[in-house]
Structure 1
């Protein structure tokens, strides 16, 4: 891709590690070093609490980020990225992003530590995030959130695929628990046929080579057609999904599949808001949250959270007037 990259982002990404996803022992060793150096966020007024959600006889790990005082007016269930094989609720970037989002929006942020591939391929991570979302809807007050607060599901990168798949499953099962869906630079389609993906070989951050291995790890033990809950780009219908914000980086192998997802959502009458950011690379909202280009993406996501809270309040008021 020849598009101009924002200079501040380019400097941040210059030393960004590129991992060989075919060598998972090395990936796990790198991840261990990162985890050892991770510390709680220093965002003012935000507490961090590790919790285990007891779901169907098993525990799903998560980390809750929230203001120290008062009940939060919204709950953001966050699904981190990492190509289905990396990341955690307390890796340094995710930790900082969740705490900052809680501080800026007043929402509580529940980051799900879902099981990772290849050790735990689909549907393990999907099931964890689906269970955590349903559990959260029934335990708001335990999380320090108002009993009638809206729940917004948020996914970044591979977490976007999981979040979108969870939203589809909740819709299909009749669980009307989501007030909003936010997908940041989402992974969408395992077929890897889009123009931006096909032209990404050798490019920055995330390429068709890494995407191919990532999907292979995630779908390792599944035979037959790939389900849309795993790869939401394969879904045939999107009607009934909650209001959705999709943020896209211009310089990103995943750009075009996210554009196509937004187009198909709009055709199915989903209230979808699509934003694409010039000069940005994959993951800019996470890695670049302290520079102008990344902050702009996050501001739009904060506004989407505020809009979901406002719409939820208006719905509640109309119901009370009946």
Structure 2
């Protein structure tokens, strides 16, 4: 990364918003930015159901690529700290994902904290995934193995938790999942975290220790509950029977080390895993313009994974 750009990014924390106070304003701003220019390749939403027990319907927006090259359906859970982000603000990223992979992308509009704290969002994602895996025909698929869970940041956390829940509850587990710089651990205090990237990048660039702690506070108000495997998948005692996993991290992200630790833990439990670290990349790079090098780097690896490329670690 250009040294001047690094310096500019290091100055950003001084001007950051207060997650707890400003999340509603951030949501509005994200939607406004996503609407410029107008989104393309949008099809009508599906309705799926939450597993909350109240029969809640969960909207899912489907994006079709300009050129469909694969039969896979990427079931996508967006990021935003479980507090911001939705299918509107992630429309550009999902349209890009559809075009660059040649797959249909189904973006899940799960409930957000603090209005709907844990486990509401997870119930929505879990219910959607379970029903599509049980009946892939509703997605126009003849084979549930064509459903690939994908999530970035908090969405990567949700994808990992969904896979754990599906196995624990005796339901069909997806054959593959793609976790992009996921949250996998509860502790982001630089004085106590087991991960060096929290200390190295926790006050820099795109995401800070304070912000992620605020997100956790809104999503899971009970500090003890944050250690649950469904909030912090790295705390799971049994990681067997998980999908074949591509786990992509960003070098300049405070979540880098915990994401890679989760990949290693999955592999140690007998799962097929590929780790890939994108050099000089910041948290959230999946939403960058299509010409951005980190985005292109990631999609090269994603394409190889979808085509059944080799597993194994490519991260230090």
- TM-score under structure 1 normalisation? 0.82
Match of 1:49 among 39, 44, 47: 44
- How many residues are aligned here? 299
2: distance between equivalents of 1:80 and 1:189? 18
Gaps of at least 5 residues in structure 1 are: 311-322
Distance across 2 between alignment mates of 1:270 and 1:216? 32
Greater length-normalized contact order (CA 8 Å, ≥ 6 residues apart):
1
Secondary structure, aligned partner of 2:227: coil
Q: Residue in 2 aligned with 1:317? A: none
Distance of aligned partners of 1:109 and 1:14 in 2 relative to their CA distance in 1, 3 Å threshold: farther
Render the CA deviation track for 1:98-145: whole Å, top value 9, x for unaligned: 122222333221111111111111101111100010122244333343
Cα offset for 1:7? 7.8
Bigger drift between 63-72 and 77-86 goes to 63-72
Secondary structure at 1:251's aligned position in 2?
Answer: coil
Rounded to whole Å, the distance in 2 between the matches of 1:101 and 1:262 is 22
Deviates more, 1:99-108 or 1:200-209: 99-108
Q: Is the 8 A contact 2:136 2:143 kept in 1?
A: yes
Give 1:84's aligned residue. 82
- How far, CA to CA, are the matches of 1:138 and 1:58 in structure 2? 18
Alignment of 1:198-237 (within 5 A): 198-220=199-221, 226-237=227-238
Q: Which residue of 2 aligns with 1:109?
A: 105
| Distance in 1 of aligned mates of 2:130 and 2:24 | 30
Report what 1:160 is aligned to.
156
Q: d(CA) in 1 for partners of 2:24 and 2:278?
A: 32
Q: Is the Cα contact below 8 Å between 2:252 and 2:280 reproduced in 1?
A: yes
Please list the CA deviations of residues 225-270 of structure 1 after superposition, one character each: whole Å capped at 9, or x if unmatched.
Answer: 7320111011122111010000011111001111211121121111
User: Structure 2: how far apart are the matches of 1:234 and 1:145?
Assistant: 34
Structure-1 residue corresponding to 2:270: 269
Task: Give runs of ≥4 in structure 1 deviating > 6 Å.
Answer: 7-17, 68-72
Which sits farther off after the overlay, 265-274 or 48-57? 48-57
Q: Relative to 1, partners in 2 of residues 1:126 and 1:174: Cα closer, same or farther, differing over 3 Å? A: same
Asked whether 1:171 is paired with 2:167, we answer yes
Unmatched segments (≥5 aa) in structure 2? 311-316
- Alpha-carbon spacing, 1:33–1:276, altered in 2? closer, same or farther (3 Å): closer
